[in-house]
Amino acid sequence: MDFDPLLAPAILCLGPDGQETARRIRSGCPEAAISGLAGPVEGAEILHDSVEAALRDLYRRDQPIVALCASATVFRALGPLLKPDQPEPPVLAVAEDGGAVVPLLGLRRGANRLARIVGAALGVTPAITLPDCDPTAQRPTGTARRGRLAVVGLGPGCGGLMAPEAREELRRARHVIGYETYVRLAGPFRADQIIHASDNRVEMDRARHAFTLAAAGESVVVVSSGDPGIFAMATAVLEALHQADEPGWHRDVELVVVPGISAAQVAAARAGAPIGHDFCILSLSDNLKPWPIILDRLGHAAAADLVIALYNPISRARPWQLGEALDLLRRHRAPETPVVLGRDVGRPDEKVWTVRLDALTPEQVDMRTVVIVGSSTTQAFHRADGGAWVYTPRWYGESSAQAAS
Ligand code: SAH
């Protein structure tokens, strides 16, 4: 896993007017630090006495700089330090109101690329005055760069259950964004790939970060476990695109969603074929939807005699909901209804087992478990290893054998 110093520039903010712009730049460069002058800039992480001192100090530390000030200020401060043929860090001048982005120095080390990312975060096209001479640039100079944003499902765990198309997107991406656990499942990565792993639960921030990078011409992959469209990142990415007033996100980004095998499919396959007839997937998480709606839906699904796969069945923050859901299901289903439990499916500690509905307790379930509750026709029978095969026949009412007798 690599850390790209280009994407962790110091944003030099000289006064309160630039603070909002500095914060917007950070939506494209979350690893950036805001650096300010003692006095006028509240909450700046590093304080300096004068603009010139700040610029010189950062420059001497070979730190990429995004300076919210006039280009002339930068040259007055850094001019005396510039030497021909000496490598210089990327330095951009950005108007305090965010209306202009100009790469000034460090064109050999990605200044134009940084300018595109900062420009994308601010919704402006950077004033590129000299073509890229950055040897690490992804594409030839001068051409409009179309970024790529792939929202990818990893499947349930590692190895064989990931689609080749997902693997290909991971290979071609420069940036990998996602929840830490899933990013780890997606590895290993090459040294030139940049990993933005986070515990951050705010999916919309992650989605906006991904668009900002892609709109600047970068190739970005956003990873989810299972299928990205099932309680996962694809929705946040589409919502971010729909809500943001960012024409560049539509025009300059090639967006693709790559499906993955979802947890219920893996658990079902291990158990036989419990979702072989009509079924539904419900999330029991009431973080994003009210509990009464969940119960109402569950009641309708049970009354419709669907096989029901429960995702997010329980967590420390939601200890009692599963018990209430099971009480409701027991009012609709016979006590012997087969329930398939799949824990960590597709991962090294996978465990899949079957219980009767009347024997199922919340203690058997955790947040890494998917619970598949059979319909009135779901069958279970012993298998040689002591477990059970479970299936839901595709006929309804009388079987052909019964009809003939
Ligand atoms: N996008 C994922 C689902 C995310 S919701 C998918 O399509 O699989 C998270 C819930 O999915 C978990 O609480 C659990 O119920 C289920 N889940 C995800 N991965 C799982 C796995 N490997 N084993 C068992 N359940 C899993």
Pick from 101-110, 138-147, 373-382 the range whose average pLDDT is largest. Answer: 373-382
Coarse DSSP helix, strand, coil percentages of the chain, rounded to the nearest 5 percent: 35, 25, 40
Mean pLDDT of the chain: 89
Q: What does the alpha-carbon distance between residue 26 and residue 32 come to, in Å, rounded to a whole number? A: 6
Question: Which residue would you say has higher pLDDT here, 218 or 14?
Answer: 218
Reported as a single tens digit per residue, the pLDDT across 358-388 is 999 999 999 999 999 999 999 999 999 899 9
Q: Is the pLDDT of residue 135 over 60?
A: no
pLDDT of residue 184: 84
Cα Rg of the chain, angstroms: 27
For a substitution probing ligand 1, which of 318, 368, 372 has the most ligand atoms within 8 Å of its CB?
A: 368
Model confidence at 130, pLDDT cuts 50, 70, 90, reads confident
Atom of ligand 1 nearest to the CA of 344: 23
Average pLDDT over residues 83-92: 87
Reported as a single tens digit per residue, the pLDDT across 168-209 is 999 999 999 998 888 888 888 988 898 888 765 688 999 999
Q: How far, in Å, is the centroid of ligand 1 from the Cα of 179?
A: 13
Handedness of CA 80, 84, 86, 90 (dihedral sign): positive
In the numeric block, the tokens 């079924």 are attached to 279
Q: What does the alpha-carbon distance between residue 79 and residue 84 come to, in Å, rounded to a whole number? A: 11
Beta carbon of 365 within 6 Å of any ligand 1 atom: no
Question: Which residue would you say has higher pLDDT here, 157 or 251?
Answer: 251
Q: Is the pLDDT of residue 241 over 90?
A: yes
The CA dihedral of 387, 393, 396, 400, to the nearest 10 degrees, is -110
Alpha helix stretches (DSSP H) within 33-177: 51-60, 71-78, 111-122, 164-172
Q: What is the pTM (predicted TM-score) of this model? A: 0.77
Cis, peptide link before residue 188, omega less than 30° from 0: yes
Question: Which residue would you say has higher pLDDT here, 136 or 358?
Answer: 358
Q: Token digits for 52?
A: 């010139």
Q: Is the pLDDT of residue 398 over 90?
A: no
Q: What are φ and ψ of residue 152, in 5° steps? A: -120, 135
Reported as a single tens digit per residue, the pLDDT across 303-351 is 999 999 999 999 988 899 999 999 999 999 999 999 999 999 999 999 9
pLDDT of residue 405: 47
Residues contacting residue 61 through CB under 8 Å, at least 6 positions apart: none
- Mean pLDDT lowest among 79-88, 256-265, 391-400: 391-400
Spell out a b/e string for 345-360, using b for 16 or more CB atoms within 10 Å of the CB, else e.
bbbeeeebebbebeeb
Q: How far, in Å, is the centroid of ligand 1 from the Cα of 119?
A: 37
Residue closest via CA to ligand 1's atom 18 equals 263
Average pLDDT over residues 387-391: 97
pLDDT of residue 1: 41
Reported as a single tens digit per residue, the pLDDT across 34-82 is 888 766 666 666 667 788 888 998 999 899 999 999 999 999 999 988 8
Helix/strand/coil for 204:
helix
Q: How far, in Å, is the centroid of ligand 1 from the Cα of 368?
A: 6
Average pLDDT over residues 278-303: 95
Q: Are strands 279-283 and 307-311 parallel, antiparallel or unpaired?
A: parallel
Closest CA to 8 of 35, 30, 37: 30
The percent of residues above 90 in pLDDT, for the chain, comes to 62
Residue closest via CA to ligand 1's atom 20 equals 263
pLDDT of residue 142: 43
For residues 357 and 329, the answer to whether their CB atoms sit within 8 Å is yes
Tally of CA atoms within 13 A in the half-sphere of 399 that contains its CB: 7
In the numeric block, the tokens 């010189």 are attached to 56
Q: What does the alpha-carbon distance between residue 41 and residue 23 come to, in Å, rounded to a whole number? A: 13
pLDDT of residue 134: 57
Summary count for the chain: helices (H), strands (E)? 13, 19
Beta carbon of 230 within 6 Å of any ligand 1 atom: yes
Q: How far, in Å, is the centroid of ligand 1 from the Cα of 155?
A: 9
pLDDT of residue 42: 63
Q: How far, in Å, is the centroid of ligand 1 from the Cα of 383?
A: 26
Tally of CA atoms within 13 A in the half-sphere of 186 that contains its CB: 35
Q: Token digits for 195?
A: 């990993």
Q: What does the alpha-carbon distance between residue 178 and residue 189 come to, in Å, rounded to a whole number? A: 14
How many CB atoms within 10 Å of residue 301? 20
pLDDT of residue 296: 97
Q: Is the pLDDT of residue 137 over 70?
A: no
Q: Is the pLDDT of residue 2 over 60?
A: no
- DSSP 8-state secondary structure symbol assigned to residue 329: H
Beta carbon of 226 within 6 Å of any ligand 1 atom: yes
Reported as a single tens digit per residue, the pLDDT across 250-274 is 999 999 999 999 999 999 999 999 9
Atom of ligand 1 nearest to the CA of 232: 1
Beta carbon of 157 within 6 Å of any ligand 1 atom: yes
